A and B are shown apart, each in its own frame.
Chain A
């Protein structure tokens, strides 16, 4: 999809949108890549007290530049506390101490279930191997809520996952409760085209906002299932000068 007039890049819109979703959070479990960008942007612009928690064991990391890996030295050097990995996943994550979890996806279905394990590449070809689960199944289970940031395409937003790595809303309303999952699960999916949220009645992802210059038709085309929309689809406010400046600063230091 080509960018329309005055549009900034899709990754910037995703990072800015995801950062805004962290306005009210106290603690955020951060993966590397876009989640880390968004969480650090949120700390600089919207929520200076936001506690960033990296699965490598850094609690309260305050990096001045974006780390390449979850274990970069600066995360450890700027953290409030360092904890071993076993403790991170048991006491802190499983213990229900973390408000927001941040996930990406190679495939996502209409109930925000996630595949990061393998994809079917068609007949005669072996399944394409992806990194796998990492912390995702338990992040989605135990964080108070989950944000998903992913680029919009029919290959990603699929009718049926090739593999269920991480449960979002399962098969629909009540399925998380049936599985005994504590957290609310995915509450928004932020893409380069707009924002999807689960319909409170059906748990199915519906389009609630588009980014400036994006049409509902474009989002439908980029979604592999018949996408439903909210009664009124909003438009996200464009990135402010402050957001863009801080984002650049994070990337260029």
Chain B
């Protein structure tokens, strides 16, 4: 059953050096505050999993905490490059970054396999792409009924999944709504689960189309209003598009980035 805890102790307790960590949220509800806590605690040698690394993983990669990245699209949405990701891949700064790279369809299916506790998932995909040449987590399999060749992608089972949601109650039951991304799959695929929320409510009222995660699949809930900034939480905040634009300048230069890290995170 989920415990309501402070962010600092929840992160310290649930995320460890060397872990495979998924911090999900597809543009919406990205758990930035939890990632910044990981940076402050210096939890390192992480394998980071996310469909879209986004600015959140650009920050963790730039801080030197990532050993490996499992992903499908590594850009700054609507703006351009993720410069810390590029610097790590191209120049090994501040440390080399191993890549396990897929398509969106493949990554979504990998989480679904993980949640289903299957070793792999099937999809009709990747045909003719070079993506299969550099990864050991993509193969093919013949359909036993029709003989059709299909792509097989290995399950993703994170040690820890971290998400941000709009609400939780005192028992740690969680609800999120709006663009729901792959959070349900990422949570159910994981060994341990940390959820930061905008609001703790006395009674969690299920909303049409909302995703409810019962407290017994969550380890810790931390109350962190604004914890998704500069992404957003539908009903609570707007996406801070200026921050995403400004990140292009901040992240482009190593010194400016390190200055930002000091001023805005580790302080």
Contacts and interface: CB of A to CB of B under 8 A. Distances in A.
Contacts of A117: 101, 130-131
B176 to A, nearest CB: 11
A193 B103 CA distance: 31
A165 interface: yes
Nearest to A87: B108
B27 interface: yes
B215 interface: no
B180 interface: yes
B46 to A, nearest CB: 20
Contact of B77 (A69, A76, A94, A137): A69
Interface stretch (B120-128, B156-164, B197-205, B254-262): B120-128
Interface string B37-80: 00000000000000110000000000000000001111101110
A116 to B, nearest CB: 9
Contact of B104 (A68, A71, A73, A135): A135
Nearest to B127: A179
Given A76-B234, A85-B182, A132-B73, A71 B105 contact: no
B265 interface: no
Interface string A92-136: 011000000000000000000100010000000011111111111
A131 B244 contact: no
A69 B123 contact: no
Contacts of A212: none
Interface stretch (A51-59, A144-152, A233-241): A51-59
B85 interface: yes
Contacts of A180: 124, 127, 148-149
B234 A73 contact: yes
Contact of A86 (B71, B109, B238): B109
B128 A56 contact: no
A73 B238 contact: yes
Given A32-B77, A141-B127, A167-B127, A76 B103 contact: no
A203 to B, nearest CB: 13
A163 interface: yes
The prevalent SS among residues of A at the interface is: loop
Contacts of A93: 105
B90 A86 contact: no
Contacts of A142: 124
A183 B78 CA distance: 27
Given A71-B77, A82-B209, A86-B108, A57 B26 contact: yes
Interface string B117-139: 00000011111111100000000
Given A76-B28, A85-B26, A86-B182, A68 B244 contact: yes
B266 interface: no
Interface string B218-242: 0000000000000110100011010
B186 to A, nearest CB: 10
Nearest to B124: A94
Nearest to B77: A69
A76 B51 CA distance: 19
Given A84-B181, A133-B131, A167-B127, A138 B26 contact: no
A164 interface: yes
Looking at B73, B123, B185, the one whose CB has the most chain A CB atoms below 10 A away is B73
A15 to B, nearest CB: 15
A196 B68 CA distance: 40
A137 B126 contact: yes
A167 B128 contact: yes
Contacts of B81: 129-131
9 contacts: A58-B179, A71-B28, A76-B179, A82-B178, A85-B182, A89-B105, A94-B125, A135-B105, A164-B128
Given A56-B28, A137-B129, 6 more contacts: A57-B181, A132-B73, A137-B126, A141-B124, A141-B125, A180-B127
